[in-house]
Amino acid sequence: MCLKSSHVFMKFFNIKLVIIFVASYLLVLVVTAPIQWWLPKIIQPAPSTGILLQNPQGNIWQGQVHVLSREVQPVTVSWDLSPYKLILLQAAVDFSLSGQDIALTGKASFSPLGMRLRQLSGYADEPFVAPLMQQYKTQVTGRLTVQQLAFNLGWNHSIGDLEGQLVWSGGNAQMSVNRRQQTYQVPMMMLNLQGDSDGWLGQVLGSQQQSFMTLSLTPEGRASISVKRLLAEALSIQLPGSTESILDFSQQVF
């Protein structure tokens, strides 16, 4: 009787080993498979969006793909996914975007609670967004620099820490105003970002630390923008009145 029970146990144990082996083998095949195999099965950009993915290389852990869009210049997206974070139910990835007129690097992590972006730094020159600007009959010159941008955002729209800075080098801007093409000399501007779970705040400052604009977001999802008269004066736009703010706008965004 004991021998029979032992035989049944060993048979059951061997079946479990086979199942574990097959499952592990299939998992290894999936995670080490070339990106050319699994990317089209996961991401299928619609032709209407004007986005195409070309020349994918690598695998799910490390690789790159060329992204083509009709609204911006082509970019190469690279990633390096950490498998160890998956044990903690987190997907942590180092990523970069590179192209003729753009270079950005950063770190992102995703969990059941939300996402976290860290150390986003780099630049984008105006030719990168020129196709998008042309749709609005606008042309700009200059460079946008991103410096150590970081934020936490929950899937339920809960906000967390925010810090970083965006700097616009300044340059010419041509746009249609009342059916006439106008050219403005846009000054250098800095957007300083800071915040926590109590709210986010952005201050747009000039080279002399003068306030051009303020932006805010409350934990309840209310976004506000206040444009200052000093910005109009910096653009050589004459406006009547003497109030500090020339435009105040607020809207619920989530």
- What is the percent of the chain where pLDDT is above 90? 46
Give residue 166's pLDDT. 97
Q: How far apart are CA 211 and CA 152, in angstroms?
A: 26
pLDDT tens digits, 128-171: 888 878 777 888 889 999 999 999 999 988 999 999 999 999 99
Indicate the helix (H) or strand (E) that contains 145: strand 143-154
pLDDT tens digits, 86-101: 777 788 999 999 998 9
Give residue 202's pLDDT. 97
User: CB 157: neighbour CB atoms within 10 A?
Assistant: 12
pLDDT tens digits, 190-248: 999 999 999 999 999 999 999 999 999 999 999 999 999 999 999 988 888 888 999 99
- Report how far apart, in Å, the C-alpha atoms of 57 and of each of 76, 126, 197 are: 11, 28, 39
Q: How far apart are CA 210 and CA 58, in angstroms?
A: 48
Length of the chain in terms of residues written: 254
Average pLDDT of the residues of the chain:
83
